[in-house]
Amino acid sequence: MHVLIGLLMVLMLANPVMGQTDYGEYGGAIFIKAIDARTIIVDLPEYPALIGENIKVRINGITTPNLKGKCKKETKLAIRAKKFMEEVLKDAEVIDIENINRGIYFQLVADVLVNDENFIIRLVEKGYAVKTSKKKKAHNWCK
């Protein structure tokens, strides 16, 4: 097992695209479950199981209420947002992942398109997310 991991690391380090910040896109992801209102788990069927199953994808460019919120209002909103996300994604015909980048804890950070629509739009319209920028990341869900 250590040999396999070592070989994988060598191949990754030798790959000239490893320093890039955008890993492209993937069409046809399969929704497994929602972790919260911003993080989902998907399978990527065209990849081997080691790198294509149970992949965490964090939606890029938004902040959402936390399931362990600072107040009951935030926690309730987070639960509703997670349920909304699950309902929409389990019934999606096509889930595409675009503008893929690597986040911390080996997860992907990307735009998620559901039936060709950026999912951020639906989350923001429902009040389950707020767009963020490098300057502003915090949002008070308790007010």
Residues 85, 34: Cα–Cα separation, whole Å: 7
Domain count, the chain: 1
pLDDT in tens, the chain (143 residues): 555 454 444 445 444 444 446 778 889 999 999 999 899 999 999 888 888 899 999 999 899 999 988 899 999 999 999 999 999 999 999 999 999 998 877 789 999 999 999 999 999 999 999 998 766 667 889 88
Compute the distance between CA of residue 39 and CA of residue 118 in angstroms, rounded to an integer. 15
Domain that holds residue 112: 25-131
Is residue 20 in a domain? no
In a domain, 9, yes or no: no
The CATH number linked to 110 is: 2.40.50.90
* 129 three-class SS: coil
